[in-house]
Amino acid sequence: MPSIAPLIVQSDFSILADIHTPEYETVRPQLARFAELERSPEHIHFYRITPLSLWNAAAAGMRVEEILDVLSRYSRFELPSTLVRDVVAYVQRYGQLQLIMQDDRLLLQSADSALLERVCADERCRPFLLERLTPNTALVEPGARGALKHALVELGYPPEDLAGYKAGAPLQVDLRTITLKGSAFELRHYQREAIDAFYMDGSLQGGSGVVVLPCGAGKTVVGIGALHTAQTHTLILTPSTIAARQWIGEILDKTALTAADVGEYSSERKELKPVTVATYQILTYRPMAVNQLTGEIGDFPHMRVFNERDWGLLIYDEVHLLPAPVFRATAELQARRRLGLTATLVREDGRERDVFSLIGPKKYDMPWRDLEQGGWIAQAECIEIRVDMDDDRRMAAALAENRQDAYRIAAENPAKLPVLHSLVQRHRQDHVLVIGQYIEQLETVAKRLEAPLLTGKTPTAERERLYAAFRRGTVPLLVVSKIANFAVDLPDADVAIQISGTFGSRQEEAQRLGRILRPKADGRAARFYTMVTRDSRDQEFSAKRQLFLAEQGYRYSIMDAHELV
């Protein structure tokens, strides 16, 4: 008897995937290349094809024939003809417009003169076009390369940028074969593939884009490989001072560059060197947001770092976190090669299109499960623990003024504390991170567990001391706020317990699981616990947070708190 096909593809671009069919695990990673997971209940997962998901697939080299083949081969019913037509149309839109450089002039060209006419007439694009040179060519304002690309993406016709890049000041960067720490070093096969997909031998088609890899898979090494490939002065942007120092340590460990070549530009140090690692916070610092007398908005004095040197490469670590002022600066830096690194391109503010247009399209994405099977990241077990809430707190949540207040009441449920204590006791031989959103809750937890607490107010030196103690095993338990979501290298962490999160943030869920995904020396699996209050906003938001990991193939087993206490 033939197996039942896993997909039901509908004309509104939605896809229902039956996860219990034998072929679902086969189609899931292929589907993730051009569709986005919207909901993941127990039996049916709901995907949606979007213009942006199709353009990212096209930019990564996926042909429309491949997309339609996946849909038709695994669809339970015949594909709707309107969907087929629209998928073809959206994929073909990518690259119908091209930006080129000719005789030192920036031009927008298209073989479709009617399309170019539409662009020139559009109010979003018109301010950046100086004149129509031919039916198929328009002259672009020299500094408007990024702004025009953004406008064209909003119009629905993402251009192919073939205008080229400045080489930047040369810098010899040699990779070590033996690191300073004494370990053998070479790029893993997928890291080399990611670098090649981004750089494309220095051709006009390469030089801007995003590499998506899970935490623990070596995104920093991909950045170092890009630095080695480009051989140029490089500016690296990171989410924190801790992350910046980890980058610097990795660069010095794995390349022949010295401390004279690599600088930190943060709130604590202002070093500009051939390779400079800066933080988003310092770039977006304003000494005065608004002048109370004149009403003038203050500027960002440290944004000058973008122009201080002849950078040939910009690397954006955790690119999904890019703040708006850095987006605006990036719009003016389209002649520099740009590499974005992230574990997930999901942005909770919906600005994925900004990343696409100003940093570049997704150029490489390796499914998490493939990396797990290859032993490059640890196997992970995800467990959701449901905790009851007493009647008084349930009433308070029901009477809350908004969803956020209702969520916080449920997320800070005191009934989680004895369950948490039992979990920590169960894993007392492991390296455990307890992660939460609310400082008062974390202070209570840290006191009860007699464990150190790290928050945004913890001085950098103290954070570094505690992280080092955690790596050594002298402090096997840390309670951390959301500062630990990003770019914290704790390779021995093998258990994470999430007691509260940022509402329904999918990117946060991926980042928090990523804290424990580095392969363990003894091959043991990692465990990621999420504690939620039953039948509450806490449980609803948790289900949304889990979406990205469900798309990667992770499934959450459900436990009742009574099984632990």
Got the DSSP string for 490-537? -TT--EEEE---STT-HHHHHHHHHTT-SPPTT-PPEEEEEEEETTSH
Sheet holding 337-342, edge to edge: 262-265, 275-279, 234-238, 313-317, 337-342, 208-212, 362-365
CA distances for 221 relative to 169, 225, 342, 375, 389, angstroms: 22, 6, 13, 17, 45
Ranges for all domains in the chain classified under CATH 3.40.50.300: 189-366, 375-563
- Strand segments (E) across 205-336: 208-212, 234-238, 262-265, 275-279, 313-317
Q: What is the DSSP letter of 290?
A: B
Cα separation, 309 vs 235, whole angstroms? 9
The CATH code that applies to domain 189-366 is: 3.40.50.300
Helix (H, G, I), strand (E, B) or coil at 478: strand
CB 395 within 8 A of CB 529: no
The candidate with the shortest Cα–Cα distance to 435, out of 489, 377, 368, 502, is 502
Cα separation, 105 vs 120, whole angstroms? 17
> What pLDDT sits at residue 84?
96
Cα separation, 512 vs 215, whole angstroms? 9
Q: Kindly report the length of the chain.
A: 565
Two tokens, residue 302: 């440290």
H or E element, residue 155: helix 145-155
> What pLDDT sits at residue 169?
97
In the block, residue with structure tokens 């990692």: 526
Cα separation, 278 vs 239, whole angstroms? 9
How does pLDDT run across 300-315, given as a tens digit for each residue?
Answer: 888 888 888 999 999 9
What pTM does this model have?
A: 0.85
Cα separation, 49 vs 204, whole angstroms? 29
**How deeply is 470 buried, as exposed, middle or buried, from its count of CB atoms within 10 A (0-12, 13-18, 19+)?**
buried
Beta partners for residue 47, in sequence order:
15, 37
- Strand segments (E) across 239-309: 262-265, 275-279
The segments of the chain whose pLDDT lies below 50 read: 1, 294
| Residue range 375-563 in CATH 3.40.50.300 | yes
CA distances for 440 relative to 406, 411, 444, 541, angstroms: 17, 12, 6, 20
Cα separation, 67 vs 226, whole angstroms? 30
